[in-house]
Amino acid sequence: MSNHISTAVTPSNHSEPAATADEPATPVNTGAESVDLPPEPDINALLDIAEDADVTWVREQEGLADVIEALATCGRVALDTEFIKRDTYYPRLALVQLNTGDHIYLLDAPRLQLDDFWQALTEVDVAIWHACGEDLGIFYLLSGCPPLTNIFDTQIALSYLTGQLQMGYQQALDDQLDMHIDKEQSQSDWLQRPLSDEQEQYAIDDVRFLPALYLSLEYELKKQGLFDYVWEDCQLYARDLYDTQHMADDEMYLSMADYRYTSEQMAILQAVATWREELARATNQPRTFVIKKQAVREIVTEKPSNMRELAHKTTMHRSMLRLYGEELLKVIKEAKNLHPAEHPACLLPPYRSKNKVLSKAVQQAIEAHAEKIGVPANVLMRKKWLAQLYEIIAFDKDLTELPEGLQGWRHKWVIQTLIPVIKGHKTELQQGMGIKA
């Protein structure tokens, strides 16, 4: 594989490589409105372009201006990041890789002030990533920008075509482009300078073939009428990641909450989780370095009142026990002393029933619609959304409380088909959730 590595930044004069087939664009129905089907991409030609792309390191602030200029004209850009977050609360961004189509840039992040770059990314028509969860988490943390609205995550796109929700980048390239890349450097030290040749090659390969993968997926999705669905889900994911990044400390407990917890236990959980978050951030260490989730659960169930109980009834690390044990006990005591009216609400019980009539009816409705529109059933309906839908029906909540994922292209089907199926088995649903009708 050839690398043409330049020493000075050269602005790209070309947009991302276009598909090379000669067929005229053909209208296709995407389920929302008609769009033009792009020419079928010539994968071999796209891979040749990828192989020949110049590679430029950007180590000085002056060079970043040319990168931002390239972003303003490229239309689509493929992106990835390398970072270290093994022993810190805040990830340490080491490298940003971007491919504007005919040029790959490696941004030496620790040496650059990236505010203008982050802003430029928000203005690109399409920002292509693969499995962008951690990357966007860093983007939102460092940029201060609102939720991105230009995301195309190839992992989400592949889930529509394969039913695999978490296909890795290496497998995606193997399956879609018959291209193999080495992923052995993923856990290496990305802050070391200079990077090894293997690290540099790994970083380049992470974006080298993303434009070709995007064009291949775009064509197939538009041919099947699924592109608009994928695009909507990508923007939904970008908003979810933004909300997660900006979650208030006193809401962090919800990810560890259990419907079997009493209101007092929920109060303890909220207090301990909030304390853990604040301490982890203040000391810049991972949450699990302060207290692992298992130890938090043990505190909630055992409700220790002194150091002996905290030491013997939980698996809290002894060094953290010595440093923060007394402070933590004070947090637990204050939570125990709260008036019940101040407790957070208990979680509603999930639907559980040995009688599978409702589950079978719902699954049949999901599979029937999935087959009709050509979307895998596990992509059409996520378990979390279905649990929230059950809750809305069982407790007669307003349909405006539907999860956001069911308020977009899925909404009409949910309202007209799925909700009537669930309501037809409402008694079973309520019994399965322990609700007395």
Residues of the chain with pLDDT > 90, as a percent, come to 87
pLDDT of residue 435: 87
Position 236 pLDDT exceeds 70: yes
24 vs 403, higher pLDDT: 403
Instruction: Report the SS3 class of residue 191.
Output: coil
pLDDT of residue 27: 38
pLDDT reading at 22 higher than 50: no
CA dihedral 286, 82, 245, 60 (to 10 degrees): 110
Tell me the pLDDT of the chain averaged across its residues. 91
What is the average pLDDT across 356-373?
A: 97
What was the pLDDT predicted at 364? Answer: 98
Lowest mean pLDDT segment, chosen from 10-14, 204-208, 317-321, 348-352: 10-14
111 burial level (CB within 10 Å; 0-12, 13-18, 19+): exposed
Indicate the range of 7-16, 79-88, 206-215 predicted with least confidence: 7-16
- Count the neighbouring beta carbons within 10 Å of the beta carbon of residue 305: 12
Q: What are phi and psi of 431, to 5 degrees?
A: -65, -40
Q: What is the per-residue pLDDT for 21? A: 35
Q: Which of 99, 160, 156 is nearest to 131 (CA)?
A: 156
pLDDT for the residue 437: 63
Kindly tell me if the per-residue pLDDT of 38 is higher than 90.
no
- pTM to 2 decimal places: 0.89
Q: What is the DSSP string of 193-247?
A: SSPPHHHHHHHHHHHHTHHHHHHHHHHHHHHTT-HHHHHHHHHHHHHHHHHHHT-
> Using CA atoms, how far apart are residues 154 and 247, in angstroms rounded to an integer?
26
